[in-house]
């Protein structure tokens, strides 16, 4: 349940990014993979550790997105349709 929120957020954000820009950032795929792979081992650990993993993954996605956008002009919309 703790990792479900970040997974739902990343999936929704990836869908929005696809609809607006016609692509999905690799950081979103990697983050979803990390959260999915870590969910089974985290079942046997305290909830605070699962929360920490979720926070760290979301923070990493935010840092990667900020670095990519830093100094670049705003991206024009390019819907896939």
Consecutive sets of 10 residues in the chain, 81 residues long: mean pLDDT of each? Answer: 92 93 91 94 92 95 91 77 67
Task: Tell whether 81 is covered by a domain.
Answer: no
pLDDT of residue 81: 67
Q: What is the pTM of this model?
A: 0.84
Alpha carbons 40 and 57: distance in angstroms, whole number: 16
Residues of the domain holding 61: 4-69
Task: Tell whether 59 is covered by a domain.
Answer: yes
DSSP 14-69: HHHHHHHHS---HHHHHHHHHHHHHHHHHTTS-HHHHHHHHHHHHHHHHHHHHHHH
Domain count, the chain: 1
């Amino acid at each position: 349940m703790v990792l479900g929120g970040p997974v739902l957020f990343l999936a929704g954000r990836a869908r929005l990014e696809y609809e607006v820009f016609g692509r999905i950032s690799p950081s979103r795929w990697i983050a979803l993979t990390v959260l999915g792979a870590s969910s089974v081992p985290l079942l046997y650990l305290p909830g605070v550790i699962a929360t920490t993993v979720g926070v760290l993954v979301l923070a990493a996605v935010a840092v990667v997105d900020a670095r990519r956008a830093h100094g670049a002009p705003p991206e024009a919309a390019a819907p896939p349709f």
